[in-house]
Chains A and B, each alone.
Chain A
């Protein structure tokens, strides 16, 4: 579960608590954990797909006879850094709009 933990899922739902049926708080906790976990997996999957697509494009070319592991490693690192930059810029923008009362 290494990858999904990037997106904040993971540990809580890992230790399967013994669920007492009809116990409201237990069902709630389980449900929340399950949802968080699935979202984390979906986000990790999306990230893997996008990184693969972009780094395949940047690092390899036809006739694809040789791999480019070094380039792919650097590309992945660059993509993660880009993700951070974009995320900060976007969130700053959302916060600005919300402070201005636009949203």
Chain B
């Protein structure tokens, strides 16, 4: 994995630099979503999956996972709103 050297980057023209920047920004946004999904799965799996009896999710487990994400996001929004109001 030593394909691109710093010199190669400096030699890019402005249009290419812009293209690379917007690629990076897009990947960064996607990666933030990915990391949140990692975090939520880790957190909600602990709370919602009580026993490992088979490889399928039960309908309660599935519903619990969905609720877990949605309530976490509600909480996040609530906290941000409240902090805004204090300011």
A residues bordering B, Cβ < 8 Å? 7, 13, 16, 19, 21-22, 24-25, 27-28, 30-39, 43, 46-47, 50, 53-55, 57-59, 71, 73-75, 77-79, 81-83, 85-87, 89-91, 93-94
9 tightest A-B CB contacts, nearest first: A77-B55, A89-B69, A30-B3, A74-B55, A89-B66, A27-B8, A24-B16, A85-B65, A86-B41
The distance in angstroms between the C-alpha atoms of A79 and B41, with both chains bound, is 8
The distance in angstroms between the C-alpha atoms of A31 and B16, with both chains bound, is 11
Interface size class, chain B:
35 or more
Check if B20 sits within 8 Å of A86, measured CB to CB. no
Q: A86 to chain B: which residues have CB within 8 Å?
A: 37, 40-41, 44, 65-66, 68-69
Most buried by B among A36, A75, A89, A91: A89
B1-47 with Cβ < 8 A to chain A: 1, 3-4, 8-9, 11-13, 16, 19-20, 23-24, 27, 31, 33-38, 40-42, 44-46
Q: B31 to chain A: which residues have CB within 8 Å?
A: 39, 43
